[in-house]
């Protein structure tokens, strides 16, 4: 919790900043670094008179002359040296955050939104590809709440899910399509041999409840194949689905990539059935097209597209 003293101190800082022309700090740094008013004027494309007036304004703010004339230049006071240590760090941080030219030696955080199960599949691959292209980038994985809102309001840089969006502001690239497998626990009656549709109908199922196009199509197909389908358990998290299937007689459907990740730790087995042999689950990268104006984001998106050379849409 913020104490009343801290709150008042922050208000005082903001009041001070409001009355301080931050351009003066840039001029201070130029005079300090280049050791003279004339040199600073050349660097900033200002007149020496304008630089002198700015230094005079700073002397009214700070209780110190800041610079003392010495020969053709000036020398900073001890107080000015103290100021320089903090001001230089602040200006460097601001320039790093703005990163006008998308410099590859600047540290920056890229936010990627996924569901837990999609994140487990794609984030390690995305991280590896992005780090090879730009090792200074930091990656932050967050949850998907509302893809179109998150992208349109720049709450996240990238979204990876299985949906399709018609908004003109959203660009997409298909990362991969995965086949679907029906799974059960080790030792389940359906794990022994080829299983018929009638045998599958005897068992309750576990379903994932993500609201995206691919999952909704799978649910429709299931309702068609199993008109009397009994869904005993559903979850938004495929890891939870896998854990449930491993501990009881539920059967379920999951992408083959996830099955390969889970089968040993959860002792899952693929059910021998051709019911879903033609079905695929898409995983797609989405981004705000305005992000392409940012050289750094354009580089990241192109890096991801090269790492997953599927047909974009």
Distances (CA, A) of 95 to 28, 76, 139, 209, 227: 16, 24, 20, 44, 61
Q: Per-residue pLDDT tens for 183-224?
A: 999 999 898 778 888 888 888 888 877 666 667 777 787 888
Confidence label for 311 from pLDDT (cuts 50, 70 and 90) = very low
% of the chain exceeding 90 in pLDDT: 41
**In the prediction, which pLDDT does 140 show?**
93
- 283: tokens are 């995983």
Contact call for residues 160 and 284 (beta carbons, < 8 A): yes
Query: What values do phi and psi take at 171, rounded to 5?
Result: -100, 150
Domains of the chain with bracketed CATH: 4-98 (1.10.10.10), 108-175+282-307 (3.40.190.10), 179-281 (3.40.190.10)
Which sign, positive or negative, has the C-alpha torsion 64, 69, 74, 76? Answer: negative
Of 71-75, 169-173, 227-231, the range with the highest mean pLDDT is 169-173
Residue by residue, DSSP assigns 66-118 as -EEEETTEEEE-HHHHHHHHHHHHHHHHHHHHH-TT--TTS-EEEEEEE-HHH
């Amino acid at each position: 919790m913020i104490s009343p003293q801290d709150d008042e101190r922050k208000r005082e800082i903001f009041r001070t900043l409001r009355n301080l022309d931050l351009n003066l700090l840039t001029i201070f740094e130029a005079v300090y670094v280049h050791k003279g008013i004339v040199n600073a004027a050349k660097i900033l494309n200002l007149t020496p008179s304008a630089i002198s007036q700015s230094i005079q304004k700073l002397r009214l703010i700070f209780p110190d002359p800041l610079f003392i004339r010495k020969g053709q230049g000036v020398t900073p006071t001890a107080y000015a040296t103290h100021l320089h240590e903090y001001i230089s760090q602040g200006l460097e941080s601001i320039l790093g955050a703005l990163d006008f030219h998308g410099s590859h030696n600047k540290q920056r955080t890229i936010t990627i939104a996924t569901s837990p199960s999609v994140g487990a599949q794609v984030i390690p691959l995305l991280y590896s590809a992005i780090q090879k292209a730009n090792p200074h980038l930091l990656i932050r994985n967050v949850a998907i709440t509302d893809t179109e809102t998150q992208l349109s309001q720049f709450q996240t840089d990238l979204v990876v899910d299985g949906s399709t969006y018609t908004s003109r502001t959203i660009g997409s690239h298909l990362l991969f399509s995965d086949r679907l497998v029906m799974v059960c626990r080790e030792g389940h009656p359906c794990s022994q041999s080829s299983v018929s549709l009638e045998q599958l109908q005897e068992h309750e199922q576990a379903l994932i409840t993500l609201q995206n196009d691919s999952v909704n199509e799978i649910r429709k197909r299931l309702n068609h194949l199993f008109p009397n389908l009994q869904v005993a358990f559903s979850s938004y998290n495929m890891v939870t689905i896998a854990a449930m299937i491993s501990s009881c007689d539920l059967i379920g459907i999951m992408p083959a990539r996830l099955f390969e990740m889970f089968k040993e730790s959860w002792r899952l087995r693929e059910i021998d059935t051709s019911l879903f042999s033609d079905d695929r689950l898409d995983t797609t990268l989405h981004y705000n097209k305005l992000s392409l104006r940012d050289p750094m984001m354009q580089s990241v998106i192109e890096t991801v597209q090269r790492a997953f050379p599927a047909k974009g849409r």
